Amino acid sequence: MMQNTIFDPNKPCLPPMPSEFLKRTENAVLEHLSNEQFGVSELADAVSMSRSNLLRKIKAETSLSASQYIRQIRLEEGMKLLKEGELNVSEVTHQVGFGSTSYFIKCFREHYGYPPGTVGKESEQPIEQEEPAVENQFKKGWINQALLGVGIILLLVLVVFFFKNDDQEAKPVEKSIAVLPFKNLSADSSNIYLINGLMETTLNNLQKIKDLRVVSRTSVEKFRNTTLTVPEISSMLPVGYFVEGSGQKVGDRIQLNIQLIEAARDKQVWSQQYNREVNDIFQLQEEIASSIVSEIQVVITPEERELIASIPTKNMDAYDLYLKGRAAIRKETIEGLNEGIPYFKQAIDLDNEFGLAYAYLAISYYYIDIFKTDKKYLDDVNSLADKALFYAPNSPESWIAKGSYYQQIGEYKETEKYFLQAHKLAPGSSDIVNQLSDFYTRYYPDTNKYLEFALKGVRLISNSKDSLTTSYLYLHLSNALIQNGFVDEALVYANKCLEYFPENPYGYIKPYILYVKNRDIAQTRNMLLNEFKKDTTRFDILQEIGKLYYCEGNFDKAYEVYDRFIKLRDRLGMDVYHFEYLKIADTFIRKGEQERGEQYIEGFKEFADGDKSRYKDIHYVAYYTYTGQLDSAEYHMKRFAELDGFQYWILLFIEDDPGMAPIKNKKWFKESLSKLRNTFWSDHEKLKAKLEEEDLI
């Protein structure tokens, strides 16, 4: 809550008195200062408030989250102890409730601008170098100095007021923006690809800036033909700013109108009309991005500015074809991919150094091949991605293209390296975050990283009411939470996922979460049967139904479903679900199809041999148990029990799997399973504390 006064740097800035509520909460934190487990939930209990009311009231009075507020108090007390000089940094770390010295140093540096080890060393400087006390204090950063002796409430008044058009109203705190679809004013509707291209490039450029949260393209697409006002859109898509644009192509010139609107006040803070030759399009795009970030005071690094200023091609005909190709593949259909590919090829024919065209051509081929048994374009994806990286090494699309190739051939360590570099180049891209979430659950399982990127994805959308993107990001978050044992939280986001997009094809995560809560396998199976009835081409759901019948011991039904699943999968030319081959094999053999079953046993062994994930040993346990090689099963079970970071599903289904029956009563199996449980729940509690500290759950 900002004071209605003008800040004068020549006068001392006096904070208002803290409210009774803030005094009470601060005292509660101080009473438990050395307890690193004292987090948001504990503070709520200490002041006799619900967690939600506590979060809301702290946010209202300090503009901080509850975890930031607690951390701020800990850091201020840490500063006091360091100034007294009786304790070293490590000792202070634990006195103020930080479990890690390195994390305390990181937070301290971010808050005060220098490491804790330098506190108190000013006296070691020669006296003649000292400046007058007040002047020196201001030059060192009056905000940091003032924070030393007051509570967190000071953050409310230490806001620099910006003036524009003789207006003393403050700009929004959050640096967030939505680029609304540009309107095509051309009489020729075929020019819409160019206007859309300008809009998308503006969005992509802004996504390269770490200091700015940019709403995804799909989140704003629903407003393309809207008649809603900015305040109405803002209520559905809460961000600090909106970019609106309209334009047309007239001969060889582009006429473009851009305006930046502050959402809270529905006020235009910047606008510009451009009339440029098509050849100036790249300079135009850079100018737009630079003007926007300048107006909203975004911190942009030299590296980010260089990325935005890069010119993808000098051949404007090639760029025109590239934009047409990108518009086609945005349809996200096989038809769209096939429509876009010739445009990218023609663009490359005109400019054989056009890195982005190579990248999008590689990505298009990757998606055509993605689930097919016969990877027709594998070599093309590889060679095209290499050319993309050579000619456009700073484009995230180039790294995604190469990472997609490695993902296709199962080289997941390399995939991870390339995808993470793409994320580094465009930290605001929800598409890349979503891709990393998918990677860490589907291809290279890592429950902690999956949850990390799922949470990043949700942060990028904030409270966006976009139905599609939001639904998928909530889906990933729900799945990541359940994999880490957060059952109730997972159910909350599974419900949100379906609220935004009831027809989400992977919304069947919810029946499995309910299974965790109720352990009613029949209920889960029946819910999946209802999902399958909506679309009988969904072989993925069919496979899940077969698995549940198998775990129930209903092998007649399991055989019927698995047989249908295989026929449907093969008819579609898909090559997936090798990790389920042992259940399929056992089902076929139980029904008298020995030879067919043995083929799937061999297929499972081949899959296990090539598995590079942390689940390799548990797959071997299943294989060696089924084939009667129990010594080998014991060896791999004990090896697997030494690991951490595995999915909650492992604990749930390892005992429900009929294939494990021969070893369930073995002492080594029970001991290993007990060890796995202890490891999982210990890791769960540590992760829970960390997430609560960061106010993420």
How much is the average pLDDT of 309-313? Answer: 85
Query: Are 529 and 503 contained in the same domain?
Result: no
Judge whether 96 lies within some domain: yes
Tell me which of 302, 335, 364 is where a domain ends.
302
Asked if residue 79 has pLDDT above 50, the reply is yes
Whether residues 409 and 437 share a domain: the answer is: no
* pLDDT for the residue 626: 94
Q: In which domain, by residue range, is 407 found?
A: 316-421
Q: Are residues 71 and 124 in the same domain?
A: yes
Could you tell me if 37 and 154 lie in one domain? yes
Say if residues 289 and 304 touch (Cβ distance below 8 Å).
no
Q: Do 555 and 472 have their domain in common? A: no
User: Residue 589 in contact with residue 627, Cβ under 8 Å?
Assistant: no
In this structure, the answer to whether residues 567 and 509 fall within a common structural domain is no
> In this structure, are 403 and 291 located in the same domain?
no
Regarding whether 180 and 226 lie in a shared domain, the answer is: yes
pLDDT-above-70 percentage for the chain: 86
Binned at pLDDT 50, 70 and 90, residue 327 comes out as confident
Per-residue pLDDT of 638-680, as tens digits, reads 999 999 888 998 888 887 788 899 999 999 999 999 999 999 9
| Boundary residue ending a domain (514, 543, 565) | 514
601 is a domain residue:
no
Do 235 and 263 sit in the same domain of this protein? yes
Give the pLDDT score at 217: 72
d(CA 42, CA 29): 9
Would you state the pLDDT for residue 1? 28
Predicted pLDDT at 694: 65
Tokens of 664: 């369930």
Rounded to an integer, what distance in angstroms lies between the CA atom of residue 252 and that of residue 221? 28
Angle between helices 51-62 and 66-84 (to 10 degrees): 60
Predicted confidence at residue 102, as pLDDT, reads 60
pLDDT at 274 over 60: yes
Predicted pLDDT at 4: 30
- What ranges in 261-354 are assigned the alpha helix state H? 281-295, 302-309, 316-329, 334-350
Structural contact between residues 484 and 451, judged by C-beta atoms closer than 8 angstroms = yes
Number of domains in the chain: 6
Q: Are residues 448 and 407 located together in one domain of the fold?
A: no
pLDDT for 410-433, tens place per residue? Answer: 899 999 999 999 999 988 887 888
CATH number for the domain spanning 526: value is: 1.25.40
pLDDT-based confidence at residue 212 (cuts at 50, 70, 90): confident
Looking at 469, 488, 514, the residue that finishes a domain is 514
Residue 30 lies in a domain: yes
Whole-model pTM: value is 0.58
646 lies in some domain: yes
542 vs 455, more confident? 542
Q: Identify the CATH number of the domain in which residue 206 sits.
A: 3.40.50.10610
Percentage of the chain modeled with pLDDT above 90: 34
What is d(CA 625, CA 638) in angstroms, rounded to the nearest whole number? 14
Residue 603: inside a domain: no
One domain for residues 141 and 263: no
DSSP 313: -
If asked whether residues 185 and 212 sit together in one domain, one would say: yes
Question: Looking at residue 688, what is its pLDDT?
Answer: 85
DSSP-derived secondary structure letter, 194: H
Residue 598, domain member (yes or no): no
Q: Is residue 29 part of a domain?
A: yes
CATH number at residue 393: 1.25.40.10
Q: Answer yes or no: is 4 within a domain.
A: no
So what's the pLDDT on residue 9? Answer: 29
